[in-house]
Each structure stands twice: as structure tokens, then as C-alpha cells.
Structure 1
């Protein structure tokens, strides 16, 4: 034992350590005379129960731990992990109980990690020890105790095994083995490999029926698992290191690669002076956007501030901004949000969030960012509608679908559904010959009610005549807006007489459709 790294304690305990190292199943010995009523009651612990382990340390159990008590409620063993001081074998021990157990390995690991008790027994048990080796381990332990401790067996073996592991069979064809591995392996070689690993193999025509032994029923589950066993024993070095031939190869289009577009957007933000941030997908209740009932909550969060899967990036980016002392910040993040579904896993949706914090920042800063991103992606049909929830800002509309929003509060924030945006990304460029004739430019100042968005006004004015080349918003003061109208013909030079009727039509549209006051 000393040569394997375990110090000798006494002959009874040394036997349990020896068989654990030899066979691989942990065991334990109790002082039979120290057990009240000579009873072992296996149960789950209650929160707050205290134990003192055999190394003299005291622990408070978190609850739901697998323990043994003496029938009167006193815990005498933390099963599968470590014994307790009140039942350990001592120099005066005359009668012992050699005990082996096989319990829920997930619960054992949770207890071991929660209490910080990392014994060799815990490490073995949390991986799931084969219960079919318990009886051979027990018999070996009895023989060693007889030999080295002059022990006498005074009771029959008690074997409680209510939920026996059932063996299972997996079928796999010889053709599939050869197809997955990539070379033809002789049938006899496949059988020899599997039988050498302890599997039972029956061959019928071209199909192998493989019986899985109990220690690997959780490990071997599908035909590919059998093929992996064959391949690793046969030798990966024997498999040719060559790529399979391709009959057809599709042409590569970089615009179909979302990473290409995301990288373009990131580079643009870099040149615009923004800083990219990376925040956690898990947030607190305060950083979750919306009713907490709609949140996806982790069953086993690592910390209290990482409990919910976020459904919006903006709160996380604002939280980063709040940790800075600067009042001149431009931050952005591209990452997934998680949207709850009635059943199954949540939808993971890629979003872009932007936060601008600076003096005199306005809604138009956010609008300009969205328009610039759309331009980089080759999207020309993006529009904006006033938010219906009363918050100052706008919804971002693409092909009739709301894909995000701009909000103007203390900070200017933007959040866009990138997945929807990329569906319309286009790298094609259309060449237009420069106009041979000069444009005519007019500025019109009007007072328009605030609820009429610029996009609608622009659309109506451009549709008034084919000579209206472009409409832009030049200046805003309260409800007064200055529009710059560019008239252009590609066939001739325009005169004042040509645009007079068009101007009259534009004025009529502004006063009738949009209740505007000129001047």
C-alpha cells in the first residue's frame, strides 16, 4: 500500500484500501459494536445535519446527500465518499461489518464537490463503478481479512440489489464498419477485437450482434460506439491518411457565410471609434429585459448573479458602460440571446447591441448607425416606425418585419436581430452612369406634427414625380424640419419652369397628407 501512495492504518482498513486498488470498487468497514441497535439505515440527508468524518473534520450537510444512520437518526457514514468518526474501526474493535455500496453517482459527485471532500473512493464512485464486481470484491476482502486479521465469518452475506443493470445488444453491419472507418477490416479481425474487449459477439451473414457487458452499458449505446472500439484497437495509424474523393463541389460564395458579414460589421464599428465588449449570457433578474416569468432559469447556477439566460444584449452592455467613469462611450456587442419556447430548448438568436453615451447624443445617432450597418450589408429597404410603447425612439422595419429598435433615453441604444438582417445581405453592386446634366437643389422648411415619421414623408415626396431624385432631412428644430430636395433629369437640363409644378405638388402633399405648415 505504501508503494502505491496509501499509508497503513490497521489491518481491517488496509484490506479495504488494498481491494479498492486491486479490483477498483471502494469498500468500508464499520465497528459493529459502535453501531446502535446494530442497524444501517440508508437514506438522504436533511439540510443542516452535521457529521464528523474519520479525519476529525466537521461538516454541515447541504441536504439530499446519501448517508447511512444507526436507526436512531445519527449519521454513521457519508456513503461512497468518507466514513465518520463515530463508527470507524479502532484498536479495541472486535467485530466489523465489511460494507460495499453502489449509489447514484451524480448525487455522490454533487456531495463531494459541495463539501470539498475529494477522496479516492469519491473519485471512483462518481464515475459509476460496475455493480457486478461488488460480490467478487466482497469475497476477496473476506479472504484477505481471514488471512491477515485472523477474522472469522459470523454471518451470511447480505446482498441487496433491487435494480439490476440489464445487459443490452447492439447490431451493426460489416459494411457500416468499413464505411465509417474508411477501410475494409476482415470479419474475423472485428470479432477478435470485440471479444478481446469482453463483448459477446454473434455473426449472422453480414451483421454483428454485440452484447454489451454491464460496466459499459452507459458508455456503448449506438453502432458508432462499437465501430470506435474496433477502430482504436485495430490502430488509427493503419487507416490511410487521405481525403475522400468528391464527385461534386459546390461553388463557394462568401456572402452566404454569416461570419464574413459579421466581420465586416465589426470592422466598420472599429473604424467608427466603437469598442467591442463581451458579456455573459447569464444575467441577474435586474438585467433581464421583461417579466421574469418569461426568463429561462438555470437549475444549478454557479453563482446567484448568473441565473437567467438573457433575452436582450442592451442591459448587459449598459452595465459595462456604467462600470466606466467616462461619459464618452461607444460600445457594441454581437452575441446570442435566448428566447423561451413552450417546449424544448430555447431559440438562440444572434443580436447586435449598440450603446452610445456622450453629450448631445440623439436619436439620429442611433438611426445613422442602423442605416450605416444596412449600407455595409447592401440593404436599401430598411425603414423606421415610431415606437408604440411610448418610449422615445423607433422600431426598425425590414420587409414588413420588426427586426429591432432604437431607444433615446440617457443613452442611445440600438438592438437588431442580426439573423433577420443577414437574410437580406447582398454584396452585388449595380453601376449607374453619372448624370450628364446638373441637378437643381431646393431647401423647404416646414412645420410637421411630430407623429409623422420622415420615412413616410420621404416616400410620398419621391413618388410625386420621377424628377425628384432624392429627399434628405437637413435640419430639425422642435417640430420644424428642413428638407433638401434634389431634382434631376438624365436626358436634359432642368429649368425653374420644369420644377414649378412639381414644387406645387410637393407643397400640396405636405399640407394635405401631413398637415404641414410651410415656412
Structure 2
């Protein structure tokens, strides 16, 4: 939210300095993110003075230059070389003496220095209007009022507007502070609290009520959809002259970054930023039947908006229509191309209304129209302010555009809204705030903010909430109002803190997550956080059938809750690859979402994404790319960190990964891993392999034992290794070898490791050789050959019978 210091001070009974006001705003919860000076004319003519030309003679070395002497009120006149054709003795002119800086309309600022021009000394510059940023003319120097006194600062003559502009970081609930008057109310409440008084009140703009000069432009107003529009007001104005706005109005708008368009539009923008109430002006000629109807139109009705785009309306989009049922404006969001004010407009109909916040937000996002009006209506404007803002704008139009009020003010308000009532106790305010506020202080702050006391006792108070604060509905909201107006920095920090011991669940999910995150970060992984809302185009119809769709999507690209983690991670990888960051190790804790028979579920995941090189290229060796086994190693290590042993590996299909494997613990799938398919990579324009592992974090936590300490004594007796070379069919996986070995169920067998794979026609058709090592250990004694041979015989027998393996000698 952008606030002008000068504009805000128009409504304050006192005028703090810009810095004091900045401190006040931050203390009351309107955090000032920046404070910058605004100048209507760059430099504000600093250092420039009025001069009087005493002499003007031809330059001896240049036909188009003149040698002048200029009186600027100093002891001696300045000698200035001037190239303007209109310079003459006796003129009052703008002079930039040595040391002054000018800011031309185009080009860089220029600081005056003593110079020699064609051999003659020049002690400054006589300026044209474009050279000082005052206009665009460069026909000659500016010739001013002859009554001006030499030496007078130019800033005192032209009085360029200066201001201080605040950027306030508003939280989304603070609709009441989205206007200058709204901010002024908070400042006055702060000052009242500071001095324990009620004397500081907002100085609202004063004007007489609207007195129609005639009734020649009547309009009938009908609200067909009262849920969408509880209140609608309007007035007709005749004989307006559409043209430029006066300088004061242009300056106020330009100071807060609003471009001046014409006097009618500028007035509606001015009142919007003054009161927080959006307005809309229609060309009266567009009101066929002299009628306004607030209603919805049939599904897919074509409507051309002010930006000349055709838009298909939804059956729930609220519209402002004329008597012929034709749409003139998307209510509260955007005007139409054929009903707005143009340079030829002579009569207007001015609208002020309250629209249903939910409907406005839905329509605004649906059509991608995020206007100033929509952002206010969607938060809930002050319904009691509708007519005041209308009359304020109508008076300004009559004053600045020469219009006459040509109808009575029409205010259609079928069901007058009641104020929200909230009750709280003084003890609750003190308890929740942590500050010992007196009853009088609490009441003083709330009354200063516009709350009305309906009933009070020594212990409790019941209040009516002003319509300008639609976010207030709970006692806790009242506590927040009291705390921020008194100043959050006034709450004392206690010297003692009393807490009760609490036992966390075992295993503690956050500690488990932190342990794994520390392990991965320590091994070179970077943690990423991607958006849970994603694009439906990434998924098949089968996946979308159970996806959670957004009813009110932010954009067309963000329309569903992600059904899988892979796609959002690939977006991140693609972003990095496009910026030449090609070796990536990412991990992410996140959620996926699914809908099933009207119920919604969310699942927690840990995902690993790897791509690029695992070792960099050096003079000693070539770089090597990451692969499935690189990913597999980290997956096994993560599981080992959590104490998982006896993993079951199952090759799968239909996961979108190539190859695709599942890891099971106690017959439950806890990890899916593999290579991302080329089709999926093509969706994200990724041209290098990506490997992906998806841990079902909920299942992993459910299977995790209560203690994550896995310690055992280092064996005192030596381990024994035996090797076997097994000749197998090519389709036999090493997992089958492991399964056959574990089927022996020997307590002595500690480890099985594949250390070589050999393929050759000498082994036979469609054959391969696995070289496998077996490690044996008895923690209680040294093993004998006889004990080891006994186990090896059982292993060989299993390999031969279960896998039809031949043992290479």
C-alpha cells in the first residue's frame, strides 16, 4: 500500500514530521517498508535563482553566442555565455550558478562548473524550461515576470510539489488501512491513546450534500442478485467536460504512482485512495432504457472489456447491465469497452456499491483481472461508506469538470446490514496480550478506532464493530487492535518464564526429519521447497481423475494440488539447467494430495533428485555421470540412518520411471526409485538424465521403531570371507541371489556382496557370471573351516536348486 505524507496530513488534526509519522505507522502495525522523497520536478530547483540580464553582447568568437552579465543578488554580477536567440537586457531569467545541478527533461543531470566557451569565461547558465525539467520547450530561455527580485530562489517562484511516500506492508486482513482516511483513523487512535484523550479526530473532507440542479437524467436501479450486491448507489451528472485534471490532482495521484488519465477517471481514483471505496463512471448514453440492472448473464456470454479483449463470462460473474440486458461492466472488477467515459462524453452515471467479496475474488482470478477495485472489494469495503464516497466524487466532478447534478442520489439497500457484535472481558485482553492494560485504556483505544460500546460491566464489554473493519469477529481480534494501537513494543518482557515439562511423541517426527536433512546436506544435497499448487497439463487424464482441483486458481498454470512430487522438482531442475547449473543434488520434504469419493487426503514425502556429474573432470581422471547405483547408494544410506534392514527390492512398471524399483520393509512399499522417462523430461525441456527417489515418509515414520539408536559392540573375533563364481541365466537378478542366500537362515552369514559381473560366449548362450563374496562372523568365538564349509554347502545347494546356477571352479 502506497501512502502520501502530504495527502495523509490533509486528514490529521496535527502534522508529525515524515520520520515521526513513519515511526508511528510501524508501531501500530502498519509497517513502513520504505520512505522515499517524491519531487514533482526532479531536484525541485535547488540552487537555481532568479537573475536579471544587465548586458547582452555578441560573442567575439561565435556568431550564435552572446556574452551576458546577470545580476543574481550577489555582490558582483555573473558573466555567462548564452546561446539562446531571445536573451535581452532587462529580462528576468532562471540562472543556474556554479555548483547548482539541473535536471533536464531528457538526458543526465548536469552540475555547473566554471568554464571557458570559445575563449570566454562562463560562470553558470541561463536556462530554458526543458533544461530544468519544468516543460518540454527549448525555443529559448525562460523570460519571467519582470517584478521578480534577483536572487530569489526559483523554488519559491514555481513552488514544485514535494512529498514523502510510504510503502506500507499491509497484511491481507487490513482492508481498513487501504486508504488515506483509513490510515489517518489509526494515527488519530494512537495519538488519543498517547495523551489519554479523545480530541484527535480525522478531518474528513467537507462538502455540502448533493443538491440536484435538475432531474433530466433519471436512472432506475434494480438489483436482481442481492447476494452479490447488497447495496448499490448512483447519481447522474450532466454537462461534464472531459479533459486534463488540475495540477494538484495530478500531483497527488502521481506521487503514489497512479497515472493521470482525465479529470473524471482521476477523480474516481482519487476518491478510491482517499476513502477506500471503488467507483465507476459510465457514459450515460450507454444506459439503454435509462436503467441499471445488477445481475448475472448466461454461461459463456461474450463480453468485451475495456482492454478490447473478448471474455467468456461464467454464469456466476456479477454484471452491471443496462435496461436492454446488455453487460456494461464486470461488477467490481473491470469496465466494458462500450460504456466507459471518453473525450466525447457529456453526461455520466456515477456508481458506488458494495459487492460480495467472495464473488469478486472468484471473478477477478477467473479472468486474470487484478485491478485496484477488485483487490478492495474482495476484502470487503465499508458498506456504510458507499453514499459518502459517491457524493464526494460527484461534488469534485461538478467542481472540476463543470458538471451539474442531474438526478437525485439513488441508494438501493434492500436489507440494511447489521454491525458485527463482539463481547470480551477485560481480563481476557490482559491475559492474551500479556500486558496489564487498564479498563479505561482498553475502552479508549477501541472507541478511538470507531467501536461502539453497547454494554459494559466492571468485568466485560460488548462492542459493535465498525463496518470498515470486516476482519473483526472474535475477542482475540479486539486484543490485537488494543495491542497494536498501544504499541507492540510497549509490552513488557517478563523476567521469569514458567513452563510445564512436555513429552514429545516417539519417534519425534521433526527430529527424524532433521536427522535425515542433516545427513543429506552434509553429503552435498541442497534442500528445495517447491509449490504444492501445480499445472494440470503435466499429468495424464488417469492421474487427474483423482487430483484435487483448485476452485479458484491463482493462474491457469496453477490449477491443481500436486498429485506427485516429481513434476515440481523437475521444474526446479529445469530452471537451474537453463542457467548452466548442471550438477544437481536436491532433496525435498513435501506433500501430495488426492481426492477419493469426495474425501481429500494428503501424504508426506521425502524426494531425492539427482542429475549431472558425480565427479568433476580433472587432469587425473574423466568426470563420471550420476546413475541409478549412485542414487541407490544414498537411498540405502537414508534407510540405514533410520535403522531399516532386510530391505526387499521389487522391479516394477507403471511408475513413469525407467528402470523402476520399489523397496519394501515388512511388505510395505517405502521407496520408489529409478530414472525419469524421456517423455517426462521432454515436458520440462530437460536434455540430460535425471534420477529420482520418492520416500513414503508417512509409512517410514509408522514403521520406525521408537528408539533411533542402533549401536552394538565391535566384534572381538575375526570375520571370514569366502567367494563364489555363479554362472546364471542373464535374466536372473542379484536380488534373487540374495534371497536364495538368506533362505539358508544362518546366523553366521553377515554380508553378501556382488563384486564382479562377467559376460562371455564362453560361458554359454544367454549366460553371465556373478562373483559374490560372503562374510561370516560369530561374535562369541573364532570360526572353524568346518563351520564355514557347512554353510557354504547349503548356499551352493540353494543356488543350484533355486537358480539353476553352475559353480565356476
With normalisation by structure 2, the TM-score equals 0.52
Aligned match for 2:649, one of 385, 403, 427: 385
Quote the offset at 1:396 in angstroms.
1.0
Does residue 483 of structure 2 align to residue 231 of structure 1? yes
Does residue 602 of structure 2 align to residue 350 of structure 1? no
User: Structure 1, residues 304-325: CA drift from partner, whole Å, max 9, x if none?
Assistant: 5544433333455567778969
Hey, what does 2:587 align to over in structure 1? 333
SS state at 2:724 partner? strand
Change (3 A) 1:91 1:403: closer
SS state at 1:473 partner? strand
Superposition pairs of residues 103-122 of structure 1, within 5 angstroms: 103-105=355-357
SS state at 2:545 partner? helix
Does residue 561 of structure 2 align to residue 309 of structure 1? yes
CA distance in 2, matches of 1:51, 1:318: 37
User: Structure 1, residues 57-83: CA drift from partner, whole Å, max 9, x if none?
Assistant: 745445356543432355555655558
Change (3 A) 1:238 1:362: closer
Hey, what does 2:670 align to over in structure 1? 403
Hey, what does 2:634 align to over in structure 1? 369
User: Structure 1, residues 385-411: CA drift from partner, whole Å, max 9, x if none?
Assistant: 323548754321224421112336876
Hey, what does 2:428 align to over in structure 1? 176
Quote the offset at 1:479 in angstroms.
5.8
Aligned match for 2:456, one of 176, 194, 203: 203
Preserved CA contact (<8 Å) 1:29 1:89: no
SS state at 1:386 partner? strand
Superposition pairs of residues 226-305 of structure 1, within 5 angstroms: 226-242=478-494, 245-249=497-501, 257-270=511-524, 281-285=532-536, 287-288=538-539, 291-301=543-553, 304-305=556-557
Change (3 A) 1:458 1:366: farther
Hey, what does 1:473 align to over in structure 2? 754
CA distance in 1, matches of 2:583, 2:311: 48
Does residue 316 of structure 2 align to residue 63 of structure 1? no
Bigger drift between 289-298 and 353-362 goes to: 353-362
| Unaligned segments of structure 1, at least 5 residues | none
CA distance in 1, matches of 2:375, 2:660: 57
Quote the offset at 1:508 in angstroms.
3.5
Aligned match for 1:456, one of 718, 739, 742: 739
CA distance in 2, matches of 1:123, 1:304: 19
Bigger drift between 158-167 and 285-294 goes to: 285-294
Bigger drift between 66-75 and 481-490 goes to: 66-75
CA distance in 1, matches of 2:351, 2:510: 63
Preserved CA contact (<8 Å) 2:424 2:462: yes
Preserved CA contact (<8 Å) 2:548 2:595: no
User: Structure 1, residues 397-444: CA drift from partner, whole Å, max 9, x if none?
Assistant: 224421112336876543222454456386535242333446353435
CA-atom RMSD in angstroms? 4.6
Quote the offset at 1:240 in angstroms.
0.4
Hey, what does 2:694 align to over in structure 1? 415
SS state at 1:475 partner? strand
CA distance in 2, matches of 1:363, 1:8: 62
**Which has the greater radius of gyration?**
2
CA distance in 1, matches of 2:439, 2:523: 60
CA distance in 2, matches of 1:22, 1:406: 59
Change (3 A) 1:43 1:14: same
Change (3 A) 1:21 1:303: closer
SS state at 1:49 partner? strand
With normalisation by structure 1, the TM-score equals 0.77
SS state at 1:100 partner? strand
Change (3 A) 1:89 1:516: closer
Aligned match for 2:791, one of 486, 502, 505: 502
Higher RCO, 1 or 2 (CA under 8 Å, sep at least 6)? Answer: 2
Change (3 A) 1:489 1:353: closer
